[in-house]
Homo-oligomer: A and B are copies of this chain.
């Protein structure tokens, strides 16, 4: 029996809360890790709901769930959705909102307008967060051929369970082993911002032009341990004094470059006692921008300064890069159409970059992709405190409905 679809604030909230009951944590958050019980129950329940709204649902070989609404014309499918997995004790909106919004939108369109011209598929991607196994974007990566399934299945989680074993143990059986989808026209992802820019600037919708590139580094400064009392200032090779100077320089410099963000998130000093000059300080640096050339220039610039200061102070400065993710541009034409929809609905909006990673960045190098944001209250995410106002959720669903209508009908 087909469910009748209401698109209003209360109904969106109901659907979100229904999904978040799968894996609900004591603190009010959600924990759904790839292939765990809550994850499998959520995917099974989503499959049922897809069928209730008239979609033809199936799992692929890694547990991605597709709900297909066949178009009247032949051709590739429009894919819309997000990821079903969460971080440990995460929020109910991250990923989940994109799936619920897509279900509501497609269900509403089907009910109101019948079959579309172009095929639409709602997708509940199996994994994005990288919270269980040492890989991320497992869902979108499998669909787009970025992962070799056989190799990845050999990975282990922290309880020493292999992905292969975890996949075999889930409570449903994939409908096919096929992963790679060559029949996708475009991917549409609606997601919470996970930042405070829309809220601070009082905008309803974020149109993402780029997902930023990221580089991460560990910087080790090696000076000399000495007695805090008996070593005059000019004789010191104080690794914390030097590291502090490097951090101030890197972050001050970042503040002068439009859209660039840099974060020294972690620092450790050794021996780390009050009356000994630290001989070694290790800190991390995370650098993000949507233009790789700007990242490159910034890093070259500050690392030259790092080396210079090290040489000046007689300390070793070692720089180790351990992450390099390229920026991805979203599809201009699709984003222009989304902008039209936003304007037609008289919603305020901002064209912006995404500083966080999303499945849209994996699809973005594979097919036409558009990424839309709704505001996050206080920018909080990956926490039970994650929240988006109901009218903002409603605006997001409205835009998605009308964008799909424009593209598929």
Measured CB to CB, the residues of A under 8 A from B are 193-197, 200, 212, 214, 216, 226-235, 238, 240-241, 243-245, 247-248, 251, 254-255, 259-269, 272-278, 281, 284, 286, 288, 354-357, 379, 381-382
Q: Closest residue of chain B to A277, judged by CB?
A: B263
Q: Which of B229, B244, B269, B382 contacts A266 (CB 8 A)?
A: B269
A232 to B267, CA, bound (A): 21
Chain B neighbourhood of A240, CB < 8 A = 247, 264-265, 267
Q: Closest residue of chain B to A254, judged by CB?
A: B233
Chain B neighbourhood of A261, CB < 8 A = 228-229, 231-233
Q: Which of B231, B243, B255 contacts A234 (CB 8 A)?
A: B255
Contact A355/B231 with A241-B264, A244-B247, A265-B278 known, Cβ cut-off 8 Å = yes
A231 to B342, CA, bound (A): 24
Contact: A231 with B274, CB < 8 Å?
no
Chain B neighbourhood of A286, CB < 8 A = 228-229, 274-275
Chain B neighbourhood of A251, CB < 8 A = 233, 238, 241, 244
**Nearest 10 interchain pairs by C-beta:** A195-B230, A229-B355, A228-B263, A244-B244, A274-B284, A230-B355, A244-B247, A233-B255, A265-B274, A229-B356
Contact: A229 with B379, CB < 8 Å?
no
A-B contact pairs, 18 of them (CB 8 A): A193-B230, A194-B230, A196-B231, A226-B379, A227-B356, A228-B261, A228-B265, A228-B286, A229-B354, A232-B259, A233-B255, A240-B267, A241-B264, A244-B244, A266-B273, A267-B267, A267-B269, A275-B286
Contact: B265 with A227, CB < 8 Å?
no
Q: For the complex formed, measure the closest distance between the CB of A310 and the CB atoms of chain B, giving whole angstroms.
A: 15
Chain B neighbourhood of A274, CB < 8 A = 216, 263, 265-266, 284, 286
Q: For the complex formed, measure the closest distance between the CB of A328 and the CB atoms of chain B, giving whole angstroms.
A: 13
Q: Closest residue of chain B to A256, judged by CB?
A: B233
Q: For the complex formed, measure the closest distance between the CB of A10 and the CB atoms of chain B, giving whole angstroms.
A: 28
Contact: A227 with B194, CB < 8 Å?
yes
Contact A265/B275 with A229-B214, A231-B355, A381-B227 known, Cβ cut-off 8 Å = yes
Contact: A247 with B255, CB < 8 Å?
no
Contact A379/B228 with A241-B264, A278-B265 known, Cβ cut-off 8 Å = no
Chain B neighbourhood of A277, CB < 8 A = 263, 265
Contact: B267 with A238, CB < 8 Å?
no
Chain B neighbourhood of A269, CB < 8 A = 265-267
Contact A232/B272 with A238-B251, A245-B248, A277-B265 known, Cβ cut-off 8 Å = no
Contact: B265 with A195, CB < 8 Å?
no
Chain B neighbourhood of A216, CB < 8 A = 274-275
